[in-house]
């Protein structure tokens, strides 16, 4: 799957020519002298504010977001937005058809179907399970191995280590947390909370067998970000590396 690159034209700064990284000498020295961040496990939740089974999953992922060595992400899908329940519906302000397509691509790879459900948890782009099941999600996270590829954020840039196969580097802009009073649909009358909600995703570029540096786009107040590095072996392949901003 390719994210629509309406955001990426200004963000991409891939500095590789004839196999050599053009990272400045000072930047290289800083990267080599700094302590490399601990590898992460990435847990993604596909959810919707219009899904009555989803608030417990969002609460669980908010709790997990504070765990050391774990990056949690909430992707809000759009296929609930037009469903009427009890005479009303609710448009999830964080939903996006691009996020739905990401989920469909994952399911095609992991379950052999583009059919989707919510809440769905996917860990390291490799295994999936019901997102509001504490035991299932905990097992997926606890049994996951930390991602192997080096991903280091230095000031306004991210440095991706060399890898044997081509990878895609994704910049994900996140809202740190939200509180929403839902006025329609299955969750009408409920106040929902979440953390690390995906606002948009930007393809920074691709890289393979050389260390490569990309500039990181700016973020707004109340926001944070993450870098995801995924294999191109499939439409949305397994996760190989990740980093948290800040």
**SS3 annotation, 201-224:** EEEEEEECCCCEEEECCCCCCCEE
Coil/strand/helix, residue 14:
coil
Coil/strand/helix, residue 71:
strand
Among 30-34, 36-40, 84-88, 166-170, where is mean pLDDT lowest? 30-34
The pLDDT of residue 30 is: 38
Res. 61: pLDDT tops 80:
yes
In the chain, the number of structural domains is 1
The pLDDT of residue 36 is: 62
Among 11-25, 89-103, 194-208, where is mean pLDDT lowest? 11-25
φ, ψ for residue 32, nearest 5 deg: -75, -30
Q: Classify residue 4: in a domain, yes or no.
A: no
Q: Classify residue 11: in a domain, yes or no.
A: no
More confidently predicted of 237 and 64: 64
Where residue 223 sits, what CATH number does that domain have?
A: 3.40.30.10
Model pLDDT for residues 203-243, shown as the tens digit of each residue = 999 999 999 999 999 999 999 999 999 998 888 989 999 99
CB 238 within 8 A of CB 124: yes
Q: Classify residue 200: in a domain, yes or no.
A: yes
Cβ neighbours, 10 Å, residue 85: 16
Mean pLDDT for all residues in the chain: 87
Residue of 114, 122, 39 whose CA lies nearest to 74: 122
The pLDDT of residue 29 is: 32
Res. 19: pLDDT tops 70:
no
Q: Classify residue 185: in a domain, yes or no.
A: yes
Cβ neighbours, 10 Å, residue 16: 17
The pLDDT of residue 206 is: 95
pLDDT confidence band for 5 (50 / 70 / 90): very low
Q: Classify residue 69: in a domain, yes or no.
A: yes
Q: Classify residue 2: in a domain, yes or no.
A: no
Structural domain that includes position 158: 16-27+38-244
Maximum CA pair distance of the chain? 63
Among 52-56, 148-152, 234-238, where is mean pLDDT lowest? 234-238
The pLDDT of residue 246 is: 77
Q: Classify residue 195: in a domain, yes or no.
A: yes
Instruction: Find where tokens 């053009």 sit.
Output: 22
Per-residue pLDDT, averaged over 8-35, amounts to 37
pLDDT confidence band for 31 (50 / 70 / 90): very low
Among 20-34, 92-106, 113-127, where is mean pLDDT lowest? 20-34
pLDDT confidence band for 16 (50 / 70 / 90): very low
With b for 16 or more beta-carbon neighbours within 10 A and e for fewer, the 124-147 pattern comes to bbbebbebbbeeebeebbeebeeb
Q: Classify residue 6: in a domain, yes or no.
A: no
Name residue 43's beta-bridge partners. 72, 123
Res. 35: pLDDT tops 60:
no
Name residue 138's beta-bridge partners. none
């Amino acid at each position: 799957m390719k994210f629509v690159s309406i955001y990426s034209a200004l963000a991409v700064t891939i500095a590789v020519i004839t196999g050599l990284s053009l990272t400045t000498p000072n930047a290289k020295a800083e990267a080599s002298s700094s302590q490399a961040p601990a590898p992460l496990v990435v847990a993604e939740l596909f959810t919707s504010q219009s899904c009555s089974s989803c608030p417990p999953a969002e609460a669980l992922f908010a709790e997990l977001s504070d765990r050391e060595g774990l990056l949690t992400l909430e992707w809000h899908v759009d296929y609930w937005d037009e469903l009427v329940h009890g005479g009303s519906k609710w448009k999830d302000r964080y939903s996006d058809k691009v996020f739905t397509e990401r989920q469909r691509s994952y399911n095609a790879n992991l379950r052999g179907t583009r059919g989707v459900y919510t809440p769905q948890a996917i860990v390291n782009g490799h295994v999936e399970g019901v997102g509001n099941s504490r035991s299932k999600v905990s097992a997926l996270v606890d049994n996951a191995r930390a991602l192997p590829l080096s991903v280091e954020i230095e000031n306004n840039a991210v440095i991706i280590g060399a890898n044997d196969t081509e990878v895609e580097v994704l910049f994900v802009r996140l809202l740190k947390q939200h509180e929403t009073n839902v006025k329609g649909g299955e969750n009408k009358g409920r106040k929902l909370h979440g953390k690390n909600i995906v606002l948009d995703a930007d393809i920074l570029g691709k890289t393979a067998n050389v260390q490569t540096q990309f500039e990181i786009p700016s973020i707004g107040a109340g926001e944070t970000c993450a870098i995801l590095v995924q294999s191109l072996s499939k439409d949305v392949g397994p996760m190989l590396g990740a980093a948290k901003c800040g």
